[in-house]
Amino acid sequence: MKRIVFTNPAAQKIYDDYIKRVTRCIRLLSADDQRDTLMEINSHIYEATNAAPPENEIEILLDTLEKLGSPEEVLQPLVAYKKAQQATRSFNPVHILQAMRLNIANGAAYVILAFFYLLSVSFCILIILKIIYPSHTGLFMQNDKFIAFGFTTELSGGLTEVLGQLFIPVVILLMGALYFLNTLLFRLLKKE
C-alpha cells in the first residue's frame, strides 16, 4: 500500500498513527483481507483530504478521521464478519474460536457455540486425566444409577467406573460429534 505523504509532520504523524491502529484492528484477518481493508481506508483518507481545499492539512485530516470513526469501533463488524467467513471456509478451530470471540456480542447462539467448544476442550483434558488417573476418570455408576462422567477425586464405596479402556474412544467420538455439530451450527448462523 502506498503511504499518503503530508507536508506537515504533525499531520503525517496523525495519519501514520491512524493507519497503525487500523493495522492492529485487522491483524486477525487473512493477508488478502488485511491488504484490501487497509487500501480501502487509505483510499478514503486520500480522496477526502484531496477533495477539501488545501488550507490546513491537520484540520482536514482530523475532520476526515473523525468522520471515518475510530478504527476499533467501525472495523469491528467488518473484522467479525470476515473472520466468520474465513472460519466457515477453513474449518480451522483457531479461526472458529477467533470468529466466535468477535461475534459473541451478536447473539446468544454464539454463547452456546462458545460453551460447546469449551466442552470439547474439557473432553480433551479428560483424555489426559484418564491416562494419568485411570481409576478416577470415566463413567461412574453406583447401584445401576448414573453418578458422573468425568474426573473424581473420591471413590466412595460402590462407585464403579464402567467404561474402562473404552472411555478414551468414547470421548474422542463425543469430541468429534461436538466439533462437527458446532461447525455446522456456525455455518447455519453465518447463513442467517
Partner 1 sequence: MYYICCMNSEFVQNWFSQVKKGTLSYIILIILDEKEYYGYELVQEIKIHTTLEVAEGTLYPLLNRLKAEGIVDSKWVEQESGIPRKYYTLSKSGKATLTEMQKIWSALETAINKLQK
For cell 483510499, name the residue.
43
Identify which of residues 144 and 192 has a Cβ nearer to partner 1 in the complex.
192
- Residue nearer to partner 1 on the CB measure, 70 or 92: 70
In the bound state with partner 1, the residue whose beta carbon lies nearer, of 61 and 175, is 61
Give me the least distance between CB of 5 and partner 1, in Å please: 10
Q: Can you tell me the distance from the alpha carbon of 186 to that of 95, in angstroms, rounded to the nearest whole number? A: 12
Cα(99)–Cα(49) distance, integer angstroms: 34
Distance from C-alpha of 22 to C-alpha of 42, rounded to nearest angstrom? 10
> C-beta of 109: minimal distance to partner 1 in Å?
18
Shortest reach from residue 2's CB to partner 1, in Å: 5
- CA atoms of 157 and 162, how far apart (whole Å): 14
Dump the DSSP string for 130-156.
Answer: HHHSGGGEEEEEETTEEEEEEE-S---
Shortest distance, position 43 Cβ to partner 1, whole Å: 6
Among residues 124 and 188, whose Cβ is nearest to partner 1? 188
Interface with partner 1 by CB under 8 A: which residues? 2, 4, 37, 39-44, 46-48, 50-51, 67-71, 73-75, 77-78, 81-82, 85
Nearer to partner 1, 6 or 123 (CB): 6
Beta carbon of residue 44, minimum distance to partner 1 (angstroms, whole number): 5
Tell me the HSE value of 47 on the side-chain side, using a 13 A CA sphere.
7
The separation between the first and the last C-alpha atoms of the chain, rounded to the nearest angstrom, is: 34
Q: 110 in helix, strand or coil?
A: helix
